[in-house]
Chain A
Amino acid sequence: MTNLLVFREQLKKFYGKYELYLTPVGKFLMALVSLSMINSAIGYMSELKSFTVVLVLALMCSFLPMNFTVVVAAAVTLGHLYKFSLECAGVALIIFLLLFLLYFRFSPKDTIAVLFTPLCFILKIPYVMPIAMGLVGTPFSAVSVACGVVVYYTISYMIGSASVLNAFEADGELEKFRYVIDGILSNKTMFVVVVAFVATLVVVYFVRRLSVDYAWTIAMVTGGLLDILILLMGELMYNTKLSIMGLIVGSVVSVLLAKVLEFFVFNVDYSRTERVQFEDDEYYYYVKAVPKNTVTAPQKRVKTIKVPDKAVRQQKRDRE
Chain B
Amino acid sequence: MLNEERIKLMTKMASYEENEARRNVMIGSYFRGDYLGLQVIKSIISATIAFCMVFAAYILYHFEELIADIYKMDLFEFGKSVIVDYLIFTAVYAVISYGVYMYKYASAKKSLKKYYNNLKKLSYLYEKENKK
Alpha-carbon distance between A280 and B42 when the two chains are bound, in angstroms = 44
Which residues from chain B contact A109 at a C-beta distance below 8 Å? 20
* A177 near B11: Cβ-Cβ < 8 Å: no
State whether A102 touches B47 (Cβ < 8 A).
yes
Verify B8–A285 contact, CB threshold 8 A: yes
The chain B residue with its CB closest to the CB of A274 is: B2
Kindly state whether residue B16 has any CB partner on chain A within 8 Å: no
**B35, CB-defined interface residue at 8 Å:** no
- Taking CB as reference atom, which chain B residue is nearest A277? B4
B6 to chain A, nearest CB (A): 11
* Residues in A whose Cβ lies below 8 Å from that of B93: 102
Residue on A nearest B63 in the bound complex, by CB: A174
| B68 lies within 8 A of chain A by Cβ | no
| B7/A105 in contact, CB under 8 A | no
Give the interface segment out of B53-61, B72-80, B114-122: B53-61
Contact between chains at B57 and A289 (CB < 8 Å): no
State whether A94 touches B43 (Cβ < 8 A): no
On whether the beta carbons of B57 and A181 are closer than 8 Å, the reply is yes
| Chain B residues whose CB sits within 8 angstroms of the CB of A98 once the complex forms | 50, 53-54
In contact, B50 and A101 (Cβ under 8 angstroms)? yes
Contact B61 A178 (CB under 8 A): yes
CB <8 Å contact, B8 and A280: yes
The answer for the CA separation of A285 and B12 in the assembled complex, in Å, is 11
CB-nearest residue of chain A relative to B7?
A287
Known: A94-B54, A177-B60. A276 touches B7 (CB 8 A): yes
Contact across chains for B57 and A94 when beta carbons are under 8 A apart: yes
B107 at the interface (CB under 8 A from A): no
A105 touches B43 (CB 8 A): yes
- Using Cβ atoms and an 8 Å threshold, which residues of chain A touch B11? 285, 287
User: DSSP majority for the A interface?
Assistant: helix
Contacts of B20 in A (CB 8 A): 109
Interface residues of A in 18-64 (CB under 8 A from B): none
Measured in the bound complex, the distance between the Cα atoms of B53 and A97 in whole Å is 9
Contact A105 B57 (CB under 8 A): no
Q: Of all chain B residues, which has the CB nearest A98? A: B50
- By the criterion CB–CB under 8 Å, are B46 and A289 in contact? no
CB-CB under 8 A from B54, the residues of chain A are: 94, 98
What's the Cα separation between A181 and B100 when bound, in Å?
31
CB neighbours (8 Å) of A177 from chain B are 60-61
Closest to B96 in A: A106
* Across-interface contacts of A91 in B (CB, < 8 A): 57
With CB as the reference atom, state the residue of chain A lying closest to B18: A138
Interface centre among A94, A101, A280, A285 (most CB of B within 10 A): A101
For A178, what are the chain B residues with a Cβ–Cβ distance below 8 Å?
A: 61
CA A97 to CA B97, docked complex, whole Å: 18
Other-chain contact of B46, A94, A105, A174, A276 (Cβ < 8 Å): A105
Other-chain residue from A97, A105, A287 in contact with B42 (beta carbon distance below 8 A): A105
Bound-state CA distance A105–B38 (Å) is 13
Q: Complex formed: what's the CA distance from A91 to B63 in Å?
A: 16
Q: CA of A234 to CA of B50 in the docked complex: distance in angstroms?
A: 31
Nearest to B60 among chain A residues (CB) is A177
* Contact A97 B50, beta carbon cutoff 8 Å: yes
Closest to B104 in A: A106
- 15 CB contacts below 8 A, A to B, read A94-B53, A101-B49, A101-B50, A102-B47, A105-B46, A174-B64, A178-B61, A274-B2, A276-B4, A278-B8, A285-B8, A285-B11, A287-B7, A287-B11, A289-B2
Rank and list the top 10 A-B pairs by shortest CB-CB distance, nearest first.
Answer: A101-B46, A101-B50, A94-B53, A278-B4, A174-B63, A98-B50, A102-B50, A177-B60, A94-B57, A106-B100
Excluding A101-B47, A181-B57, 16 further A-B contacts by CB distance (< 8 Å) are A91-B57, A94-B53, A94-B54, A102-B46, A105-B43, A106-B100, A174-B63, A174-B64, A177-B60, A181-B61, A274-B2, A276-B7, A278-B4, A280-B8, A287-B7, A289-B7
Interface residues of A (CB under 8 A from B): 91, 94, 97-98, 101-102, 105-106, 109, 174, 177-178, 181, 274, 276, 278, 280, 285, 287, 289
